[in-house]
Structure formats: structure tokens, C-alpha cells
Amino acid sequence: MRPIGVFDSGVGGLTVVRALMERLPLESIIYFGDTARVPYGVKSVATIEHFTAQITEFLLQRDVKMLVIACNTMAAVAAEVVHRLAADIPVLDVIEAGARAAVADSAGRRVGVIGTPTTINSNAYARRMHELDPSVQVYSQACPLFVPLVEEGWLEHRVTRLTAQEYLRPVLAEEVDSLVLGCTHYPLLKPLLRDVAGPRVRMIDSALTIAELAARHLQEAGLARTTGGAAEYRFVVSDVPLRFQTIGERFLGRSLGAVEKVDW
């Protein structure tokens, strides 16, 4: 029973795991969160590439049948490293999935992107969307306070709402018709963001779009599991902070069970 390998710099990628569990309930998943070395956003490209290669090799040794880069920072600066090491194993990433969905679903060709400063500064979403459709206009906004607010559990807090109003104001002023949630923490804020943005703006959740993409790829490659016993889920981290279990279960929407720790 070959699993899907999903990895992230920390806990945020569990929103992707959650979407995969719901869309592909028969598929086993192994998740790796590099909790000892998070955050990646302040590190150099060379360091991120090195860490990403290390994690990729770890998952390839577990005989995964697909790799999912659930970290926007890794996807922005180190996706090529993963593709090179994976060889013929399919590799999906949240930026590709989000960019494709935004281009497909934006009737007015005006797309907002929110993410961490590193992801926004990389311009990866805008670049990929323009490759797919040069007519799309992209308006990006870094939202550095969202990650700590989500990890604090302040999903409906007045402070979070005021912060969202400030961050989204310049993007909404451009009359965007789609908003890409360019960080794996942000799906937990989706109800609040939808409320702030209004009903006219479509939310593009990379966790959901990558789950759809994974389902299609597995089917087309003949790798989809259609019968057999229950799926197995493994959660592996490089460190187990005291709050990891609590935060992780909030992201996953269910119990994590046993969390394994590896030492590099």
C-alpha cells in the first residue's frame, strides 16, 4: 500500500492532508513537518533547497507513489529540487494547483493573492498565472500576522478580523473576483476572509485544489487505490513542540494519533 508523501516546513501542510483524506479516503498518507527548523521564510534559498532535498529523500525511501509540496515557500524556491530527485514519481505543489484554479475560475481575470512575505516576494503565483494566461491581472498582499493568529487559535477573534480588513483593503480596492489563499494556514481563516471580502470574491483554497489535482493524477497514472483495507496515516516531524499536537489537530480536524520524531 504505497502512500502519498506530503511535506511542509511545519504544521500548516496538515490542511492539505485533511483535504486529501476527504477527497481520497482510500489513500494512505505519510506527512513530514520540519518542525525543528521552521520557519523557512527567513532562510536563504540554498538552505531551503538543502532542507527540501533532505525531506524529499526521506519520503522517497518510504516508497511513496506521489509527492505533494504543501509548503508555499518550498514550492516557490525549491520545487525543481523535488522534481529532480523524484524522477518518474509525480510531484504536485500548492502554487501550481492554486495558480491553475485561479486562472480557470476568475471570470474577470483579476486575481488577488495573499501569503507570507517570502511567498509574495518570490512572485511565484503571479509568474505562474501569467504563464498560464498573460491577460490575468494579479494583485498580491503579504499577510505576516495571519500565521501566528491561526496558531494562537484566534480564527474568529476581533483582532484577526481587524487585521484581515487592513490586509485585504488594497487587494479588494482593485476589484478582484478571486482571492488565492497562498499559505496552508489560511484555509482555517476562510469563513472570516469570505465575510471580509464579500460574496462576489471567490476563495481559491490550494488545499482543496491540490486534492483534486492529486485525484486526477493518480487516476490518469493508474495509481489510484480503489479497494482494500483502511487507509493508514503517519505523521513524522523533526521535533515535537509542546503545542504541536493541539495545533496539528486543529488543522487536521481530527486526532493525530501517534506522532513520530526523526533525528537528522
What CA–CA distance (Å, rounded) separates 5 from 254?
Answer: 19
Q: Are 97 and 159 in contact, with CB atoms under 8 Å apart?
A: no
Q: What is the rounded (10 degree) CA torsion for 247, 248, 252, 256?
A: -130
Which DSSP state fits 202?
E
- Residue 164, class by beta-carbon neighbours within 10 Å (0-12 exposed, 13-18 middle, 19+ buried)? buried
C-alpha cell recorded at residue 162: 481587524
Catalytic residues: 71, 183
What is the spatial distance between Cα 233 and Cα 133, in angstroms, rounded to a whole number?
37
**Which residues 6+ apart lie within 8 Å of 257 measured at CB?**
233, 235
Q: Give me 28's grid cell.
A: 494512505
Strand partners, 180: 113, 204
Contact residues for 234 (Cβ-Cβ < 8 A; gap 6+): 3, 29, 30, 31, 260
